[in-house]
Structure 1
């Protein structure tokens, strides 16, 4: 083999090796997308990995925007509000300093998701409206999906069923456009839950089966956990008790496989509730006691409250009244500390019901009296909140109208300035035309005068010549 052939083959090998390495190394965008996928089950680890990837993104670049948005949403959905707020604050500062509507919208999105996760739905809804108003229409489907999906979740949690169905339909369309299997499965699961809330049970069941099929094909444990949990809720409504139990068991199994401890704790609570309704109090207690340490580990107050409540109700049902009441009071104390009067009221109502069934009538009467007193206060508070909400909506509409008027005034002023500028230009043009016309007339006058002088001189010469006799 000649030297030049060996050199050529070596160069080809190097090129092939370089291409293979380039193909083996995912792009930065792909690595951010991977952490978004993994962050549903391992939020803390995914957020830390995104911190490390941040050094590879340029300041104020589209990649940095994507990274911060994904990181903030992961932490918001994982009930880590401090981390979510750090990402939102960076996005907000970016939006202000660079006049970037995309960054400002992303900051509002992260904050709205965190607020919704903690139960502050009215404020979350307001922030989402502001975010959608800022979001440019030309954003890619993956980005718009995050906004519409969050908006649908907030509408669903707020009980706005028609809006939730509409938004989740839009999210499903966007998810299909991205082609990401996990988004397609999650969008169908969310829409199934919205249809369940709207009492369209058969449609909810069909969509849930679609979500399970997509997640199974993709071998996505977290999406399977979510879909099986929703399936269990739907099957409960259809009266399929065995299907409900099996769905909750599969939800727990897949949540555990996917590392989604927060989801696992909630699904264990659902299964404990199932066994409470079935009258199998020992099994209910076992599942609730498994859920409690998980909920505390991930700092999920809702899960901790439900687990404590289920433990207490199981003990009460087995005639362990004092132990059961203590656990229920621990759950109520959590709701009291975070200002959830509705949660406290519902807990007293459930406590009264179970005490009555177990035979503790004085305890049941006391609990139900507290429930009624709280319910009356909540009704009055909700009426006041409704008035405040109407006032806030009125103020928001007024600000929007004022902004429209200001924009119109600005447009009118701009049009007036434009007309004035045109008038000035027209006057200058007329003046220029006048000057040019005057100059042209002057030139023509000089030319005619010169021609007349030449003609007069010629006539004089002809006259002299005509007076002379050429023969003399």
Structure 2
């Protein structure tokens, strides 16, 4: 009976309707079976109910399994119930509660001898950490799950699940070589399992990897094979997922008509199967296709419905990616206000993820330090005990043989000296390691520039400065690579990394050694100039634009032209006489950068100062910088780039710099 239930397991995952019928037929007979068999039947019933969209029935199954496990005082059975309930809660978009149950289930599973269950729990917890953006912990958990699954030779399905999870995580972390090696092992195992469903799952994972590295032909071939397998199986859920992925591939190839066709088919299929997460993906793909085809209102409606689901799931990395795509799509069709809104939503999530990763790094360093400290204490105690033993022996020898006292004393002094030298040497090595760790914590590993954390610490310690008018001021410049996503999509992420390294190198050339250059995040760079002529800030912006545009990145036979958009301002800024905090100045510079993006790219927008401030507020200016500029509350400079695609200046725009002030209307409208 137990083996018959396990044989239905694949159907529970891929063809749940058929599995549900077979499992329900076994319920009466299972009442006479051992507790472990009855528990597995309830577990598979919850999976089948979940996959058919019957969430209330699935939840009832999980509660029954949890109660049964507690009544039997069986940790493994209880862990199965908690895992099953976490899957139902996640499907209901109750992500936080689902994560807590998964963590509790893993603790129970690790106490049991059921290796397959332990591997399943470790994979689930690893995926939970990945969805929260904590990739180092996620990698540790899933690698642990893979080791456990290799021990559980009687259940190769769990090994397949661990390999699948690890391939996806390596892809998310952009470790593409490792992802490809793990994928090949998984494909080989899928063939040995003779399971069409598992092979379809492996091909879907291959699709995800191929898209990430820009191999779109390979991605479409893999996903088309998965679609054919799912149709033969009669898996509506699998068909919906495969159609959604094909839609996404054609979006990347700019074939919007075919992308919309596959997205609509996916939407219909996912609504039949009740797969809400995949329904949101289908809506996001359909929205992109509609926006590209000029169907703006329909596209925005589909995007907002998709975002609502992602926000419920609290999957921050995925939500961040979707919001970035949304903003770029709105920008392409000219909806600047909508694009700004999406951009700020995405930036909020990006800051949250950055802060979480920073806290995690601090905790890991602290834990490592505490471990090393305890080890040193153990070593010192051991040496201390040895010394005490030597002293006792010396006392006994002193009572028996007085003439050996001088020799023993000399030997003791020698030992103490050696130990003292060793301690000094160990302390010196520790100091070197601490200096190395400190250097690593303030530098970006790709570009060797300062990182965001170091800049934040620097600015917190920096005085606000004198807000009075003077010729010598500080300045903040924020740069963003134009069409960086297109570079990644066209040439691969390695080409994108080469572009970022080139930018870092030429920013060092364009600026002074005393200027601080920071890898702000992704393709964004920030520069702080502590002392520059107030009238020379525009010249710095022009120098940056020209320096970068004059370079080309040679990559695999391609010559890649790189341009940037820039936002900048003097620092400190004091609209009402009181200097603004540096964070607000960076926010205003960020908005100026976005205006440069929205108004044509390859240009710099500089915030020179404020006017008529008694008629407005800083909050209103931060809400919409362009509106404040056009109303005459903000004085902007525009520096145009020299590249061929830049908009040419008018004859009055001397030296490619435009200082623009808009007239402020009084209360009578004059």
Provide TM-score, normalisation by structure 2.
0.48
Kept in 1, the 8 Å contact 2:62–2:81? The answer is yes
Higher relative contact order (CA 8 A, sep 6+): 2
Structure 1 position 44 matched with structure 2 position 14 = no
Give 2:238's match in structure 1, choosing from 255, 260, 263.
Answer: 263
Using the TM superposition, give the Cα deviation of residue 327 of structure 1 relative to its aligned residue in structure 2, in angstroms: 3.5
Using the TM superposition, give the Cα deviation of residue 208 of structure 1 relative to its aligned residue in structure 2, in angstroms: 0.7
Give 2:113's match in structure 1, choosing from 139, 142, 166.
Answer: 139
Distance 2:6 2:17 in 1: 16
Using the TM superposition, give the Cα deviation of residue 332 of structure 1 relative to its aligned residue in structure 2, in angstroms: 4.6
Kept in 1, the 8 Å contact 2:323–2:346? The answer is no
Structure 1 position 62 matched with structure 2 position 58 = no
Give 2:199's match in structure 1, choosing from 224, 245, 251.
Answer: 224
1:170 counterpart residue number = 144
Distance 1:135 1:182 in 2: 17
Q: Which has the higher strand share?
A: 2
Give 1:91's match in structure 2, choosing from 59, 62, 65.
Answer: 65
Kept in 2, the 8 Å contact 1:101–1:136? The answer is no
Larger of the two Rg values belongs to structure: 1
Secondary structure of residue in 2 paired with 1:40:
helix
Structure 1: where are the runs of 5+ without partners? 1-27, 390-472
Paired positions, count: 355
Using the TM superposition, give the Cα deviation of residue 87 of structure 1 relative to its aligned residue in structure 2, in angstroms: 1.4
1:301-346 CA distance string (max 9 Å, x none): 222222222223212212233443443344456567x586968876
Kept in 2, the 8 Å contact 1:79–1:117? The answer is no
218-227 vs 374-383, which deviates more?
Answer: 374-383
Kept in 2, the 8 Å contact 1:349–1:367? The answer is no
Q: Which has the higher helix share?
A: 1
Structure 1 position 72 matched with structure 2 position 46 = yes
Give 1:184's match in structure 2, choosing from 127, 137, 159.
Answer: 159
2:292 counterpart residue number = 317
299-308 vs 75-84, which deviates more?
Answer: 75-84
Kept in 1, the 8 Å contact 2:204–2:242? The answer is yes
| Alpha-carbon spacing, 1:286–1:178, altered in 2? closer, same or farther (3 Å) | same
Using the TM superposition, give the Cα deviation of residue 379 of structure 1 relative to its aligned residue in structure 2, in angstroms: 7.6
Structure 1 position 247 matched with structure 2 position 218 = no
User: How do residues 252-401 of structure 1 correspond to structure 2 at under 5 angstroms?
Assistant: 252-332=227-307, 338=312, 349-358=324-333, 361=334, 363=335, 365-372=336-343, 374-375=345-346
Kept in 2, the 8 Å contact 1:186–1:223? The answer is no
Kept in 2, the 8 Å contact 1:352–1:368? The answer is yes
2:125 counterpart residue number = 151
Using the TM superposition, give the Cα deviation of residue 291 of structure 1 relative to its aligned residue in structure 2, in angstroms: 0.5
1:198 counterpart residue number = 173
| Alpha-carbon spacing, 1:163–1:50, altered in 2? closer, same or farther (3 Å) | farther
Using the TM superposition, give the Cα deviation of residue 229 of structure 1 relative to its aligned residue in structure 2, in angstroms: 1.6
Distance 1:335 1:152 in 2: 19
Give 1:53's match in structure 2, choosing from 14, 26, 38.
Answer: 26
| Alpha-carbon spacing, 1:307–1:238, altered in 2? closer, same or farther (3 Å) | closer
Kept in 1, the 8 Å contact 2:79–2:108? The answer is yes
Using the TM superposition, give the Cα deviation of residue 288 of structure 1 relative to its aligned residue in structure 2, in angstroms: 0.8
Secondary structure of residue in 1 paired with 2:13:
coil
Using the TM superposition, give the Cα deviation of residue 59 of structure 1 relative to its aligned residue in structure 2, in angstroms: 7.0
Distance 1:355 1:35 in 2: 46
1:97-145 CA distance string (max 9 Å, x none): 4444333322211112223444544333322222233337343333333
Distance 1:196 1:381 in 2: 22
2:634 counterpart residue number = none
Distance 1:140 1:340 in 2: 31
1:190-234 CA distance string (max 9 Å, x none): 221122223321111011112112212333221112111211222
Secondary structure of residue in 1 paired with 2:14:
coil
Distance 1:211 1:70 in 2: 24
Using the TM superposition, give the Cα deviation of residue 384 of structure 1 relative to its aligned residue in structure 2, in angstroms: 12
Structure 2: where are the runs of 5+ without partners? 361-670
